[in-house]
């Protein structure tokens, strides 16, 4: 294998999941209701009426799932914690049974030689908070820091990596602008306030984590996608740049430059959020790493989004497959923002996976997808980007939010009626990548059938 396909020594190979998407046990052992429980139980909100009440039943099957991770040779596992499982009323008394679940999960990972990366918030806000305004209510940001303290006090002796929020863009804009996600509100002004309050919550939680665990590695995971101009015409380029600042710069700039992008701020006019004195200093405190969730790009002209892009392949989500844009994104981050270690905290794809006659899942398209993205990630490292790790979204098929169980992203196939897991060809391929610390064009499965 040529050296330039090898990754740096110690590169972190992982996979990611989120609590609501896999755990099930939505009302067991004292867990409180989350906004996603409430949302998925509301008719018409999720495709096919699906809910994640049971989902992959990971709450009961986590040991089996960790055994699969070990078989694939994962070095790290990124998962999220369900806030209402630990604090059923959001604050106040701890549900020890719920916290114990995460304690056992962490211990079982460590025994398997897998490093836990914890995400504190992957969208399942305690419903009791929604009743007092949810993320629009700034007090919730303080409660989030208290929740972070509970977790770091219990798990900080074993967990080094902490991700405060997953994709605040999605929380704010799909939750409050399009209403496609919980809590299903459609109001742009409120969405922008939520986006700001989330960043405040990030800042407060980062402080809390460091207070209780001085060595904590604290980061945030943003969904970032390059917005690229359809042509070299200056009006197309300007439209693409504005869109980038509006979606990605809106989070990157406060975090890494202590300010909101001024052009976008002006365009928003009276929609802009209330920002209290000191907020931007709080938000822009040191980050130990930035997590990037990369799935696709957008192509723009002065008239708007260009889609489909002629000649491009699309996933089941309707997202363009565009690995070279990942490299361009990483290089741009290095150029435009302060130097900071980066992780790809999510990358992956949904395709129509089926179990074949032979009982296996031959997902060659996913292998091709991951191979292309890893190759581009490796090229970015060659460009001087400080990329430390890569987490496939997702470890296993799961509840894909408003799409329900219709979209399969996993390295592991889940047969929901029986809860049987089958490592897909892509999972076997990934095991080989990990073993060799790099992508080879002829990677053979490192493990055979499960």
Asked whether position 293 contacts ligand GCO by CB under 6 A, the answer is yes
Give CA separation, 322 vs 296, 333, 384, in Å. Answer: 6, 17, 21
Count of other CB atoms within 10 angstroms of residue 312? 14
Stretch that binds ligand GCO, among 162-170, 206-214, 328-336, 441-449 (CB under 6 A): 162-170
CB of 238 to ligand GCO, least distance (A): 28
Asked whether position 81 contacts ligand GCO by CB under 6 A, the answer is no
The structure tokens 């770091």 sit at 152
306 closest CA partner among 195, 229, 225, 366 = 229
Asked whether position 167 contacts ligand GCO by CB under 6 A, the answer is yes
The interface mask with ligand GCO, positions 356-395, x = CB under 6 A, is -------------------------------------x--
Residues in 174-233 at the binding interface with ligand GCO, rule: CB under 6 A: 223
The structure tokens 């929740």 sit at 147
Residues in 123-152 at the binding interface with ligand GCO, rule: CB under 6 A: none
Strands (E), 275-394: 289-293, 298-301, 304-305, 342-347, 387-393
Among 124, 247, 320, 346, binds ligand GCO (CB under 6 A): 346
Q: Give the side-chain half-sphere CA count within 13 A for 140.
A: 24
Residue-wise burial string across 153-162, b where 16 or more C-beta atoms lie within 10 A, e elsewhere: ebbbeebebb
Stretch that binds ligand GCO, among 100-108, 135-143, 165-173, 423-431 (CB under 6 A): 165-173
CB of 164 to ligand GCO, least distance (A): 14
Residue 346 is a catalytic residue: yes
Residue nearest ligand GCO (C-beta atom): 167
Of 115, 136, 346, 400, catalytic: 346
Residue 180 is a catalytic residue: no
Among 400, 412, 413, 431, binds ligand GCO (CB under 6 A): 400
Give the C-alpha separation, 445 to 373, whole Å. 19
CB of 167 to ligand GCO, least distance (A): 5
DSSP-assigned letter for residue 172:
I
CB of 17 to ligand GCO, least distance (A): 8
Helix pair angle (188-212, 250-257), 10° resolution = 40
């Amino acid at each position: 294998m040529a050296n330039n396909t090898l990754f740096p020594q110690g590169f972190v190979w992982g996979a990611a999941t989120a609590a609501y998407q896999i755990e099930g046990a939505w009302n067991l052992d004292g867990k409180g209701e989350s906004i996603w429980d409430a949302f998925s139980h509301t008719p018409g909100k999720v495709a096919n009426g699906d809910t994640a009440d049971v989902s992959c039943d990971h709450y009961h099957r986590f040991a089996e799932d960790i055994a699969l991770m070990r078989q694939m040779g994962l070095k790290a596992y990124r998962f999220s914690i369900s806030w209402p499982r630990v604090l059923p009323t959001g604050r106040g008394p701890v549900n020890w049974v719920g916290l114990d679940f995460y304690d056992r999960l962490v211990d079982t990972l460590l025994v398997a030689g897998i490093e836990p990366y914890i995400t504190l918030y992957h969208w399942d806000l305690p419903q009791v908070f929604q009743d007092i305004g949810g993320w629009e209510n700034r007090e919730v940001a303080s409660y989030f820091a208290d929740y972070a303290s509970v977790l770091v006090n219990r798990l900080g002796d074993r967990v080094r990596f902490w991700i405060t929020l997953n994709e605040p863009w999605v929380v704010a804009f799909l939750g409050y602008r399009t209403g496609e996600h919980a809590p299903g509100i459609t109001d742009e002004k409120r969405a922008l306030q939520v986006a700001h309050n989330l960043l405040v919550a990030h800042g407060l939680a980062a402080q809390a984590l460091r207070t209780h665990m001085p060595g904590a590695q604290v980061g945030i995971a943003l969904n970032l996608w390059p917005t690229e101009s359809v042509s070299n015409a200056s009006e197309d380029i300007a439209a693409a740049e504005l869109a980038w600042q509006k979606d990605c710069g809106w989070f990157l700039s406060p975090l890494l430059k202590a300010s909101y992008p001024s052009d976008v701020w002006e365009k928003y006019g009276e929609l802009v959020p209330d920002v209290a004195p000191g907020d931007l200093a709080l938000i822009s405190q040191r980050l130990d790493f930035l997590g990037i969730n990369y799935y696709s790009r957008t192509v723009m002209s002065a008239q708007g989004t260009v889609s489909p892009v002629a000649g491009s392949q699309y996933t089941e989500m309707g997202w363009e497959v565009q690995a070279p844009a990942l490299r361009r994104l990483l290089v741009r981050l290095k150029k435009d923002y302060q130097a900071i270690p980066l992780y790809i905290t999510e990358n992956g794809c949904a395709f129509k996976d089926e179990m074949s006659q032979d009982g296996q899942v031959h997902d060659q398209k996913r292998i091709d997808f991951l191979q292309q993205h890893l190759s581009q990630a490796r090229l970015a490292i060659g460009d001087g980007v400080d990329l430390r790790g890569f987490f496939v979204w997702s470890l296993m098929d799961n509840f894909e939010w408003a799409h329900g169980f219709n979209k399969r992203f996993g390295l592991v196939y889940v047969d929901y009626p029986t809860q049987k897991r089958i490592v897909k060809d892509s999972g076997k391929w990934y095991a080989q990548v990990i073993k060799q610390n790099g992508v080879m064009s002829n990677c053979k499965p490192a493990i055979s059938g499960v």
